[in-house]
Amino acid sequence: MKMRKKSPDPSRVMSHVRLFSLLQAGFILWVVIGAAWGWFMPAQASAGRPWIGEALMVIMLGMGLTLRSEDVLALRHAGRPLLLGVGLQYLLMPVLAWLLAAGLDLSPMLELGVILVGCAPGGTASNVVTWLARGDVALSVAMTTASTLLAPVMTPFWIWLLASTWLHVDPLALLVSVAQVVLLPVAAGILIRRFWTPPEWFLAGILPLIAMAAIAWIVGVVVGLNVARIAEVALPLMVSIVLLNGLGLTAGFGLARLTGQGTQRSRTVAIEVGMQNSGLAAALAMVHFSPEAALAAALFSVWHNVSGAILAAWWRIH
Report the pLDDT value the prediction gives residue 304, as an integer from 0 to 100.
Answer: 87
The model carries a pTM of 0.85
Report the pLDDT value the prediction gives residue 273, as an integer from 0 to 100.
Answer: 93
Burial class of residue 105 (count of CB atoms within 10 Å of its CB; 0-12, 13-18, 19+): exposed
18, amino acid identity: R
**What is the per-residue DSSP string for the chain?**
-PPPPPPPPHHHHHHHHHHHHHHHHTHHHHHHHHHHHHHH-HHHHHTTGGGHHHHHHHHHHHHHHT--HHHHHGGGGS-HHHHHHHHHHHHHHHHHHHHHHHHTT--HHHHHHHHHHHHS-B-THHHHHHHHTT--HHHHHHHHHHHHHHHHHHHHHHHHHHHTTTS---HHHHHHHHIIIIIHHHHHHHHHHHH----HHIIIIIHHHHHHHHHHHHHHHHHHHTHHHHHHHHHHHHHHHHHHHHHHHHHHHHHHHHTT--HHHHHHHHHHHH-B-HHHHHHHHHHHS-HHHHHHHHHHHHHHHHHHHHHHHHHHT-
User: Average pLDDT of each block of 10 consecutive residues along the chain (318 residues)?
Assistant: 49 54 69 88 92 87 82 77 92 95 89 95 82 82 90 94 86 90 88 87 81 85 84 85 95 94 92 91 91 91 84 82
Report the pLDDT value the prediction gives residue 1, as an integer from 0 to 100.
Answer: 46
Report the pLDDT value the prediction gives residue 19, as an integer from 0 to 100.
Answer: 60
Report the pLDDT value the prediction gives residue 66, as an integer from 0 to 100.
Answer: 80
The Cα 126–Cα 208 span in angstroms is: 12
> Which residues is 276 bridged to in the sheet?
122
Report the pLDDT value the prediction gives residue 112, as an integer from 0 to 100.
Answer: 95
- Domains and their CATH numbers in the chain: 48-316 (1.20.1530.20)
The Cα 75–Cα 179 span in angstroms is: 20
Report the pLDDT value the prediction gives residue 88, as an integer from 0 to 100.
Answer: 93
